[in-house]
Every structure is written in structure tokens, then in C-alpha cells.
């Protein structure tokens, strides 16, 4: 465990629920994990004991896993063994990324229930599942080239990945119920408050239950890795890092002993400590980027070894490029860097 992570408290230690089973974390709050075919090899999902308007008892699902046979099979095991014979009453999705919304269409159809999600993420998911966005395709490849990615093999691979999102999210439910910041959802015996977060996804919704002292943080606060905050091709001048940092700062009023349920890693206590660590992490990265750009003009690609001191596979390189651009844009748009497009069409950033 790294020294920063050691400052967080993991009340369940190293215990993980095996795929297809659940672990109770608080009354009516259950943790399950699904496998992912990436370097980040799992996602946490949640079951909340629920009751519908007609008084019918059942469960709310929070987040879904990607669409593949293994995830569907794991869900069938959960339905068989973990629901105490009760139905699923609704499917809540924190945001539009494939590991979160992938199976929403199958889950909502299988149980005849509604998807609850922010309108922005529902629209973005609908669009991404029928077209190509920052996850791959010619436009994403051209964007990476304009930020200095030159390896022809990597560029070809990004170009070829044109239905990357749709392969994990082939369908998005045609109807949804809108979640907004400040909404209070009655889920079973407890109220859960919606907290919108920006910078990672278009409009990510975290859920906080004051009575249970529990925050479903989604991808906004993770214990071990920093949340991906990327600029992608469809919004080329985006400035997502200040949005992200403002969003996590808005979680500070929640109590320090809040049990945080993240989408990746293990449930932990130490929300304020983790927010401070993430802020310090990005401050260090900003300083590194400024120092590099003061020595000589930099592209997002030339900064990769400065920002990521480890080898990256293609999946990680596309995320890393997006993050490198996000750090450059935050400094550019606050006036600390100047951006210049070279004769080669590549953006370079130098100290202002």
C-alpha cells in the first residue's frame, strides 16, 4: 500500500465480494464487483434495499457493468442468490461511461423498470452508442495527432477503434428518469441526496445518505487512483480539471467519517483526506507541466513521461493524452501558458 493510501481507513480490510455474490456494508446496502477487460480490472456496483410507490419491496441497482456474457452471467447469479427473492425496482446509473451504463438496457428490460440518470449523461450515452466520440475513430485520432501523438501504430489503432463505446454499450434505454443536483431520492427506508460532479463525465451523480453516513462516490472520488479527467475530440477546448476540482471540493461539507463507496478500489473512510490528496496531486502535476513548458515548448504527447512515470498500453495512452491536455488547458485558460499551433498543425504550449 502506498503511504497516501495508508492514511485511509478500509473498514473491510482486504475482503472483496467474489463475482456473483454481495457483501453487506450497511443495513440494506450491498457491494458487488464485476470484472472489466482493462488494466483497471473491476468495477464496484451497489444494491440498495428499495420499496416502490405501491409499497412493493425490492432492490435498486446502482451501476451496471459493461455488456458481455460474463457480466450478464454474474448478474444472473446475483439475482438467483442475493435478492432474497425480491425484484429489482429501478436501475440508477452514476454516469455514461461503459462500465457504469453498459448493461442498463438489459437490466431495465429484464425487470421492466426505469433507468435513473442525469439528462446530460443519458443524452451523451445515446449519442456515443450510435456514433464515435473521444473513445476512438478518425476524429479522436486526428485530435491526438494535433496534440503531438506521432507513433503511427498507435494512431492507426485509435482510428480503427471506431465502435469502441458501442461494443460495450450497444444500446441505451429509450426512456429515463432524470436525476439532478439536490434531488432527494427515497430509496427504501432512507433518503439519498444527489450531488452532481463535473470534469470526469458530462454530469456525474453521486449519492449521499446522511442517515447511513454513506456516499456512493462513483468515479468522482477513488481511493487509490486519481479520477480520469480528460479533454476529448468533441469538445477540443474543454477545461475539465477546474470543474473536477470544484466538484470534489463541494463534497467537503459531508462528515469526515462518511463511508465512501467508490466505483473502483475498496470502500473507505477518509473523504476529507482523500480530497486533499487529490488536490495536492493535481497541484504537483500543474507545477511539473509549468516547469517543463518553461524549459521548452511542450505538446501533450511530449509531457506523457513527465506526467506518467510508467509504461502505458494503448488504452492507457488515450486516457493519458486526454489528461495531459486537461492539465495544459487548465494552465492555458488561466493565462499561465500560451498555446501555439505549429506549421505541422500540432499544438505546443509555452510559459506565458
**Closest of 310, 133, 148, 302 to residue 230, by C-alpha:** 133
Residue with smaller CB distance to Zn ion, 63 or 82 = 63
The H or E element that residue 70 is part of is: helix 69-81
Backbone angles phi, psi at 52, to 5 degrees: -90, 180
Stretch that binds Zn ion, among 6-14, 92-100, 102-110, 179-187 (CB under 5 A): 92-100
Q: How far is the CB of 97 from Zn ion (least distance, A)?
A: 4
Q: How far is the CB of 118 from Zn ion (least distance, A)?
A: 13
Stretch that binds Zn ion, among 80-88, 94-102, 135-143, 284-292 (CB under 5 A): 94-102
Residue with smaller CB distance to Zn ion, 41 or 340 = 41
Q: How far is the CB of 100 from Zn ion (least distance, A)?
A: 6
256: exposed, middle or buried (Cβ count in 10 Å: 0-12, 13-18, 19+): exposed
Q: How far is the CB of 220 from Zn ion (least distance, A)?
A: 9
Residue with smaller CB distance to Zn ion, 101 or 346 = 101
* CB 155, CB 145: distance < 8 Å: yes
Q: Which residue is nearest to Zn ion (CB)?
A: 97
Q: How far is the CB of 274 from Zn ion (least distance, A)?
A: 17
Task: Count residues binding Zn ion (CB under 5 A).
Answer: 2
Taking the C-alpha atoms of residue 51 and residue 86, their distance in angstroms, rounded to an integer, is 10
Pairing of β 337-341 and β 88-92: unpaired
Collect all residues with Cβ–Cβ distance below 8 Å to 177 and sequence separation of at least 6.
90, 114, 115, 116, 117
**Closest of 185, 199, 256, 188 to residue 8, by C-alpha:** 256
Q: How far is the CB of 218 from Zn ion (least distance, A)?
A: 7
Residue with smaller CB distance to Zn ion, 50 or 99 = 99
Q: How far is the CB of 227 from Zn ion (least distance, A)?
A: 8
Q: Which of 49, 97, 161, 208 binds Zn ion (CB under 5 A)?
A: 97
Please list every residue from 210 through 269 that binds Zn ion, using CB under 5 A: 219
Taking the C-alpha atoms of residue 300 and residue 162, their distance in angstroms, rounded to an integer, is 22
Taking the C-alpha atoms of residue 279 and residue 291, their distance in angstroms, rounded to an integer, is 18
Residue with smaller CB distance to Zn ion, 222 or 325 = 222
Residue with smaller CB distance to Zn ion, 38 or 308 = 38
Beta-sheet strands, E only, within 56-105:
57-62, 88-92
Residue with smaller CB distance to Zn ion, 31 or 135 = 135
Q: Which residues bind Zn ion (CB under 5 A)?
A: 97, 219
Amino acid at each position: 500500500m502506498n503511504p497516501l493510501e495508508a492514511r485511509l481507513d478500509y473498514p473491510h480490510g482486504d475482503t472483496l465480494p467474489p463475482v456473483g455474490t454481495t457483501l453487506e456494508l450497511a443495513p440494506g446496502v450491498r457491494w458487488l464487483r464485476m470484472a472489466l477487460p482493462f488494466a483497471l480490472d473491476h468495477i464496484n456496483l451497489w444494491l440498495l434495499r428499495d420499496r416502490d410507490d405501491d409499497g412493493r419491496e425490492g432492490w435498486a441497482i446502482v451501476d451496471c457493468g459493461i455488456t458481455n456474457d460474463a457480466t450478464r452471467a454474474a448478474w444472473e447469479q446475483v439475482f438467483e442468490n442475493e435478492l432474497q427473492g425480491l425484484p429489482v425496482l429501478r436501475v440508477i446509473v452514476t454516469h455514461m461511461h461503459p462500465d457504469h451504463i453498459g448493461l442498463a438496457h438489459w437490466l431495465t428490460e429484464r425487470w421492466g423498470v426505469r433507468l435513473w440518470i442525469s439528462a446530460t449523461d443519458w443524452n451523451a450515452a445515446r449519442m456515443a452508442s450510435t456514433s464515435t466520440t473521444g473513445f476512438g475513430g478518425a476524429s479522436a485520432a486526428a485530435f491526438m495527432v494535433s496534440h503531438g501523438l506521432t507513433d503511427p501504430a498507435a494512431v492507426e489503432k485509435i482510428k480503427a477503434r471506431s465502435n469502441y463505446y458501442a461494443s460495450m454499450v450497444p444500446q441505451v434505454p429509450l426512456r429515463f428518469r432524470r436525476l439532478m443536483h439536490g434531488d432527494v431520492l427515497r430509496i427504501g427506508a432512507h433518503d439519498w441526496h444527489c450531488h452532481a460532479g463535473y470534469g470526469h463525465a458530462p454530469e456525474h451523480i453521486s449519492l449521499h445518505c446522511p442517515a447511513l453516513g454513506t456516499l456512493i462516490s462513483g468515479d468522482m472520488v477513488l481511493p487509490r487512483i486519481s479520477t480520469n479527467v480528460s479533454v476529448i475530440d468533441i469538445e477540443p477546448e474543454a477545461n475539465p480539471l477546474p470543474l473536477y476540482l470544484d466538484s470534489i471540493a463541494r463534497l467537503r461539507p459531508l462528515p469526515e467519517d462518511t463511508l465512501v463507496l467508490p466505483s473502483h478500489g475498496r470502500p473507505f473512510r477518509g473523504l476529507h483526506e482523500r480530497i486533499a490528496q487529490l488536490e495536492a496531486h493535481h497541484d504537483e502535476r500543474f507545477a511539473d507541466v509549468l516547469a517543463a513548458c518553461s524549459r521548452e515548448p511542450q505538446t501533450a504527447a511530449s509531457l506523457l513521461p513527465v506526467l506518467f512515470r510508467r509504461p502505458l498500453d494503448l488504452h492507457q495512452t488515450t486516457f493519458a493524452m486526454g489528461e495531459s491536455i486537461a492539465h495544459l488547458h487548465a494552465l492555458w485558460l488561466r493565462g499561465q501558458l500560451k498555446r501555439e499551433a505549429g506549421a505541422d498543425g500540432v499544438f505546443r504550449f509555452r510559459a506565458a
